[in-house]
C-alpha cells in the first residue's frame, strides 16, 4: 500500500464520521463586531441553528439529549 493510499483511507474515514454522524456539528465564528456566533447543524432534525453564547448551545444540547 502506498502512503497516499493510507492518507486517502484516513481522509475517507474522517469524512464518513463528519458527514454521517448523528452528532450535532458546532462551529464558532466572530461577527463583524467581534462577537462570537455559534452555528449548529442538527443532522437528526436537519435544523440549522444560531446561538449568541456557548451557554445557549449547552442548554440546547441538554434539551436535545433529553427529548
* pLDDT the model gives residue 53: 96
* pLDDT the model gives residue 14: 73
Measured between its terminal Cα atoms, the distance across the chain in Å is 46
Residues 6+ apart with CB under 8 A from 28: 36, 37, 38, 39, 54
Q: Is residue 3 part of a domain?
A: no
Q: Is residue 15 part of a domain?
A: no
- Which DSSP symbol is given to 60? H
Q: Is residue 8 part of a domain?
A: no
Q: Is residue 62 part of a domain?
A: yes
Q: Is residue 25 part of a domain?
A: yes
* pLDDT the model gives residue 3: 61
* pLDDT the model gives residue 61: 94
What is the distance between the alpha carbons of residues 17 and 11, in angstroms, rounded to a whole number?
10
Q: What is the pLDDT of residues 1-53, one digit of tens each?
A: 556 688 888 887 777 766 677 889 899 999 999 999 999 999 889 999 999 99
Number of domains present in the structure of the chain: 1
Containing structural domain, residue 26: 20-66
Amino acid at each position: 500500500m502506498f502512503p497516499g493510499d493510507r492518507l486517502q483511507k484516513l481522509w475517507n474515514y474522517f469524512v464518513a464520521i463528519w458527514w454521517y454522524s448523528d452528532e450535532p456539528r458546532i462551529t464558532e465564528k466572530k461577527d463583524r463586531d467581534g462577537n462570537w456566533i455559534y452555528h449548529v447543524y442538527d443532522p437528526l432534525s436537519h435544523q440549522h441553528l444560531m446561538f449568541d453564547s456557548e451557554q445557549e448551545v449547552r442548554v440546547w444540547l441538554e434539551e436535545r439529549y433529553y427529548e
